[in-house]
Structure 1
Amino acid sequence: MNTYLKLAAFDFRLYLRDGLTLFWILIYPILMLLIFGQIFGNQPGAIEGTRYIDSYVPALCVMNVLSVSVFTLQINMVTYRGSGILRRFRVTPVKKWNVLASHALQGVCLVLAGAAEILIVSKLVWNIDVTAAGIAQLLVSILFGCIGFFSLGFALSGLSNSPGAASGLAMIFFFPMLFLSGITMPLDIFPTFLQHVSEWIPMTYFVNLAQGVWLGGSIFSFGLEWAVLAGFAVLCLALAFLLFRWES
């Protein structure tokens, strides 16, 4: 445990120095919130009595999980490996799980900071309804989703040997999930074919879960979403350990 805490502290300092990471997690979502919120914010939402902004807030929180997973965690792991940091860790008491857990902890901190910022701005600008129960259920949903999507980022890092290649791979996964999962716009406006495609994207179920519990649904009412995310987490976690490499 002492080894893990020292590693986590080391990684935390490096993450705080990464201005690009902080931009994509703390500034970019707010820009999207302000742009889409000003355009569609007060329009009627998919559920009667709600507004577009009410569903967009949890969707943006979920988008942050995706961004941290495929961009931040994946690229940082590739950078660590390419710079020889992981190779030096290999001859120390640091284990594979220590490395992954340390980066996952940084990811959780980034996701929670981004979510808090989104909620605060949304409350100040659009006076969204924020309740303790809603925050608690959204938090549980986000943390559970982090398991699978962070593991996806770690698994992808094992397939790239340079930050440039990692960025390209991240985009391949990020944009289809961004546009075909209901994050940016309701799925019912898409052609039937694309709606069927979205059913095969795990992010769709993550968005449904986050939006559902935030808008007042019981956390126990989304059995399919929990099942899909659990299966996705098991698969990606296994791939993360299988594809992990200490050296390029």
Structure 2
Amino acid sequence: MVLTKLTAVEARLFLRDPAAPFAVLAIPVGLLVVFGLLADGGRPSEDFGGQPALSAFVAPLAVTVLLAMLAVLLFPTTIATYREKGVLRRLSASPVPPGRLLTAQLLVNLAAALVAGVLALGVGVLGLGLSLPEHPGGFVLSVALGALALFSVGMLIAALAPSGKAANAIGLVTFFPMLALGGVWVPKEQLPSFLQHVADVLPVGATLNAVRGTWTGTGASALQLLALAACAVLCGGIAARWFRWE
């Protein structure tokens, strides 16, 4: 009951700031529309082994960037801001366990990711001819592990950042290099060979490339899935050890 009320409050606060919901909805949909229409991403492409760029790269990219943005930028900034303003300290002195607030925030962010992802897929399938993932079970597993790993990174940032501004700065410093090295700016196949291995173990790159594999039918590699699980355990463990309520 307490968790339900906290989640409802956090959802209202999330929706009260129009910039965050707009960005969450606009970025994945915008990526699909721009690349699907302007770049003619629905046609088979030699760069992706005869697969359309829309399903072989753009749609997995939209899903991954959505998760990374929520997990590494929005989520830790909110939690660190609550610490800075004393919200976590007041909760720690109340009968409500402070961990419920973290759970409520995670639920709100995951719900936002689900809504935005379904909307983007609907636009892609109905308006752009996007095909659905060929390995739906592997797709769900890859997205779930990717979300777990990325939100563990976000929790680590939230655990260490003393303020909302600091969390946002750390998140940006973490976010953009992971995009560059994870095969987001250019597909993994176009990176130097040694960076291709890096792309498969970083949280953003492992998520993107695992989702790409399940979408096109080749499947996610064991290395990518193990890297995501290891990241979740490592970052989650460090965050739990060093997280401060005050």
- TM-score by length of structure 2 reads 0.88
Structure 1 spans left out of the alignment, 5+ residues: none
Whether 1:189 and 2:213 are equivalent positions in the alignment is no
1 CA distance for matches of 2:64 and 2:44? 21
TM-superposition CA deviations, 1:151-207 (whole Å, max 9, x none): 211110122222222221111111111222123421222334543543452322211
Whether 1:90 and 2:92 are equivalent positions in the alignment is yes
CA distance 1:142–1:45, change in 2 (3 Å): farther
Match of 2:108 among 106, 109, 115: 106
1 CA distance for matches of 2:186 and 2:70? 21
- 1:58·1:138 contact (CA, 8 Å) conserved in 2? no
RMSD after superposition: 2.2
Aligned residue in 2 for 1:73: 75
- 1:148·1:229 contact (CA, 8 Å) conserved in 2? yes
CA distance 1:134–1:95, change in 2 (3 Å): same
Give the AA of the match of 2:19: L
- TM-score by length of structure 1 reads 0.87
Aligned residue in 1 for 2:238: 239
Give the AA of the match of 1:213: T
Q: Percent identity?
A: 30
Whether 1:164 and 2:168 are equivalent positions in the alignment is no
Match of 1:164, SS state, is: helix
Question: Structure 1 residue 33: deviation in Å?
Answer: 2.6
Match of 2:122 among 113, 120, 137: 120
1 CA distance for matches of 2:194 and 2:59? 27
Whether 1:63 and 2:65 are equivalent positions in the alignment is yes
Give the AA of the match of 1:49: G
Q: Single out whichever of 177-186 and 77-86 deviates more from structure 2.
A: 177-186
Structure 2 spans left out of the alignment, 5+ residues: none
Match of 1:95, SS state, is: coil
Question: Structure 1 residue 10: deviation in Å?
Answer: 1.8
Aligned residue in 2 for 1:15: 14
- 1:180·1:194 contact (CA, 8 Å) conserved in 2? yes
CA distance 1:121–1:135, change in 2 (3 Å): farther
CA distance 1:187–1:83, change in 2 (3 Å): same
2 CA distance for matches of 1:188 and 1:115? 25
Matched positions, count: 243
Question: Structure 1 residue 91: deviation in Å?
Answer: 1.3
